[in-house]
């Protein structure tokens, strides 16, 4: 029987994230920021070019090419702040490294995490704030795909309610 490695399901806030990536080069900070804010797959982020990016005053619009049978989405709006501003200054392919380098970058900063963690983090956080239809449309997922994430949100809500019940 294969060994099962339990997935990390605790959520990370922006303060924890941004403090952890400060020592990385700009391109690595930008990649991890895309993963954190957009909840995209590593391959979707690594495939980005400057043609997929549109920058306005305080917003960056990113057109992802969704993979694994996900439906294509409208450009995703991200805040034009911190490491993400690097995206607006680039030409051509944004990231010149591989999936393995992206994986190693995540492991260097967050040793207990994995790149797909940021997708779980964003989708789960979004499900706490928005309805399932909105989350499906933003991330290109179907209802069956987000069922796992909905469960994580519900489990957390029950735990919070139990602590509140204790007073």
Give every residue of the chain whose pLDDT is below 70, as ranges: 1-9, 151-157
Alpha helices in the chain (DSSP H): 14-21, 26-38, 42-46, 99-109, 117-129, 132-139, 143-166
What is the model's pLDDT at position 4? 41
Contacts of 148 (CB under 8 A, 6+ apart): none
What is the model's pLDDT at position 72? 85
CA distance 17 to 36: 8
Q: Does domain 14-166 have CATH number 1.10.443.10?
A: yes
CA distance 68 to 50: 23
Distances (CA, A) of 154 to 34, 46, 59, 87, 103: 26, 32, 31, 35, 29
What is the model's pLDDT at position 53? 97
Other Cβ atoms closer than 10 A to 2: 4
Q: Are 76 and 64 in contact (CB under 8 A)?
A: yes
The model's pTM is 0.84
Task: Please provide the DSSP assignment of 100-121 as one string.
Answer: HHHHHHHHHH-TT--TTHHHHH
| Domains of the chain, residue spans | 14-166
Q: Which two tokens stand for residue 46?
A: 């690594």
End-to-end CA distance of the chain: 44
Other Cβ atoms closer than 10 A to 110: 19
What is the model's pLDDT at position 11? 85
pLDDT digits (tens, 9 = 90+) for 128-144: 899 999 998 999 888 88
Gyration radius of the chain over CA positions: 17
């Amino acid at each position: 029987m294969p060994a099962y490695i339990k997935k990390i399901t605790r959520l990370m806030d922006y303060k924890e994230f941004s403090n952890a990536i400060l020592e990385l080069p700009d391109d690595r900070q930008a990649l991890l920021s895309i993963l954190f804010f957009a909840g995209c797959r590593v391959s979707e982020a690594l495939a980005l070019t400057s043609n997929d990016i549109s920058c306005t005053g305080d917003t960056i619009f990113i057109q992802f090419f969704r993979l694994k049978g996900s439906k294509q989405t409208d450009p995703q709006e991200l805040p034009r702040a911190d490491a993400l501003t690097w995206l607006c200054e680039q030409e051509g392919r944004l990231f010149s490294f591989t999936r393995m380098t992206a994986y190693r970058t995540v492991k260097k900063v967050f040793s207990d995490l994995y790149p797909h963690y940021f997708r779980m983090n964003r989708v789960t956080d979004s499900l706490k704030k928005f309805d399932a239809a909105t989350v499906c449309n933003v991330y290109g997922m179907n209802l069956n795909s987000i069922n796992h994430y909905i469960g994580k949100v519900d489990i957390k809500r029950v735990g919070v309610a139990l602590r509140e019940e204790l007073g």
